[in-house]
Amino acid sequence: MFRLTVHGDDKIARIEPELYGHFTEHIGGVFYDGIWVGEDSKIPNVRGLRLELVEKLKAIGAPVIRWPGGCFAETYDWRDGIGPRESRPTRINWWRNADGRYEPNSVGTHEFVDFCRQVGAEPYFAANITSLTPLAIRDWMDYCNSPAGATTLAKEREKNGAKEPFGVKYWGVGNETWGGGGNMTGEMYAHEYRKYAVVMENTDRHAQLICSGADHHDWHWANDVLRVLEPSYKIMHGLSLHFYCGSAGDPLAFSEEEWYKQLRQALDVERAIERNWGFVVGYGMEKRARLVIDEWGCWHPGGSGPSSHMKEYGIEPAPNNPDGVENLFEQQSTMRDAAVAAATLNLFNNHAEKIKMATVAQLVNNLHCLFLAGGEHFITTPTYHVFDMMKAHMGGDALRVSGDFGEIAREQADQRRNYSIPNLSVSASKKDGALTVTLANLSVTEDAEVDLNFSEFKPAGTAEYAVLTADDPHAHNTYEEPEKVRLVRESKPFDGHVRVPAFSAVTVTVRGE
């Protein structure tokens, strides 16, 4: 029996809804034909956007969506994606060398903002500072956000179908500038940031500018960047951080040991959060540089997703994929990926004072995705159900949880050392008189019996339960079995006892008396 206490009067911080955000890039099948199917498609759509995907995102209250990359942003010119679609240029896609596809620019600024508005999410643009000038980015902001008729670019926006400004609030100043985004050093990027940021802030003082942060392995990046930015005007509203846990075995046929290796890698995000936050605090930048973890998730080898069987499913390849090549980096999502998602979101909740935003990579037909789609086929993954079961935390006050979380000790043979992970990953929050607790059982073999207690909070007699479980840790949804893994909700009397099956997660919501 695991005995836990949720401290109803010990608030960590507000859980920003944006911690539950999403990332989209023009790569593989994310947009074509994941999100975008075209207005003339027989697939149900609204102005070319896949209707079922939009409705599923609305159902989980998706708060923010990042675009257009990712690495794709490094060579993206926003002007390629405006105006009549038939007149837009076809360009070399950043990822062409990997899958041979070109970019038709069918989805540009207007289409993406329309997507966000249909979902109810805020758009988060990644500005290209690798190959565009500060003036070009200023013009994009002008085009998006200037009042109707105020500037020549605002009039051009109206000519292209949008009289009123888009009000794009979040702007990333570069992407992975330590890598494909310019191959810069931290100090070099910081000087570039100062140059771009002063122009961007002058264009729109309501914009929130996100500084390109580190790959989680590079502990020096935050120090090098913040050392240069701290004495500046501090035009900064967040510091990004990218964290992927590498693959541990086959994404569908992993062993028990590989289950734990994957979870151990995922839980290292806490170390990345704390280490980067230490530099933020050291430079006194807590109000300017809360973390924006705008790429995170599992990165398995591609090929396990359904696009590798397009012909068998009778799926017509997307127009920019004439050879029917499988979607780059597409992977299936099993109960192991769901466990990673639940444990990661629990950690984000528990570090809510440090984190401003997080966007899982990526939305559809790619890494750690919530959806898989091709032609008329469309399914949700176990990862989607994690976001569904945990959505009640968004906007709540994160609460501290104490007690016995257990320990699973494993031997990591390749490094000849022992490591352990907790049996239980837990977070709790309170909002509108209700208290929500999410418990993820990280054991792949043993059920967990939990005695859940509260201090300074008296629960009413009934609770709402959301349970994500399966009969096999390898379980996943397919076009043939789209609901093999699904979320089960029920209301029942609450007595403080919660059973969490092995490799499963449970969210409990109780109202106070």
Q: ω before 493 within 30° of 0 (cis)?
A: no
Residues serving a catalytic function are: 176, 295
Which two three-digit tokens encode residue 220?
A: 């020096």
Residue 255 lies in a domain: yes
CB atoms within 10 A of CB 481: 11
Model confidence pLDDT, tens digit, residues 83-113: 999 999 999 999 999 999 999 999 999 999 9
- Say yes or no to pLDDT of 416 above 50: no
CB atoms within 10 A of CB 159: 11
**Cα–Cα dist 331/342, whole Å:** 18
**Cα–Cα dist 155/159, whole Å:** 6
Q: Are 394 and 20 in contact (CB under 8 A)?
A: yes
**Cα–Cα dist 75/94, whole Å:** 7
Based on the structure, what is the number of domains in the chain?
Answer: 1
Residue 81, domain CATH: 3.20.20.80
CA 171 to chain CA mean position, Å: 16
What integer pLDDT is reported at residue 415 of this predicted model? 54
Which segment of 5-14, 26-35, 125-134, 311-320 scores lowest on mean pLDDT? 311-320
Q: ω before 33 within 30° of 0 (cis)?
A: yes
Q: What mean pLDDT, rounded, does the chain reach?
A: 95
Residue 498 lies in a domain: no
**Cα–Cα dist 351/369, whole Å:** 23
Which amino acid, 269?
V
Q: Are 309 and 344 in contact (CB under 8 A)?
A: no
Please enumerate in sequence order all residues whose Cβ is within 8 A of that of 460, keeping only pairs 6 or more positions apart, or say none.
494, 510, 511, 512, 513
Which two three-digit tokens encode residue 435?
A: 């208290």
What integer pLDDT is reported at residue 460 of this predicted model? 87
Residues of the domain holding 151:
2-393
Residue 418 lies in a domain: no
| DSSP element (H, E) containing 324 | none
**Cα–Cα dist 321/36, whole Å:** 14
The DSSP annotation for 276-301 comes to: HHHHHHHTT-TTT--EEEEEEEEEPP
In this structure, the strands spanning 448-455 and 2-14 are: parallel
- Say yes or no to pLDDT of 413 above 70: no
Model confidence pLDDT, tens digit, residues 2-41: 999 999 999 999 999 999 999 999 999 999 999 999 999 9
Among candidates 411, 438, 412, 409, which has minimal Cα distance to 425?
Answer: 438
Residue 14 lies in a domain: yes
DSSP 476: B
Residue 438 lies in a domain: no
Q: Are 421 and 412 in contact (CB under 8 A)?
A: no
Task: Quote the percentage of the chain above a pLDDT of 70.
Answer: 98
Which amino acid, 14?
R
Burial 275-296 (b: 16+ CB within 10 A, else e): ebbebbeebebeebbbbbbbbb
Which two three-digit tokens encode residue 325?
A: 């090549």
What integer pLDDT is reported at residue 418 of this predicted model? 57
Query: How far from 474 is each of 255, 332, 411, CA to CA, in Å?
Result: 10, 10, 22
CA 47 to chain CA mean position, Å: 25
Residue 479 lies in a domain: no
- Say yes or no to pLDDT of 414 above 70: no
pLDDT band for position 219 (50/70/90)?
A: confident
Residue 152 lies in a domain: yes
Residue 404 lies in a domain: no
The DSSP annotation for 248-263 comes to: -S-SSS--HHHHHHHH
Query: How far from 17 is each of 151, 198, 261, 358, 480, CA to CA, in Å?
Result: 33, 28, 30, 9, 34
- Say yes or no to pLDDT of 438 above 80: yes
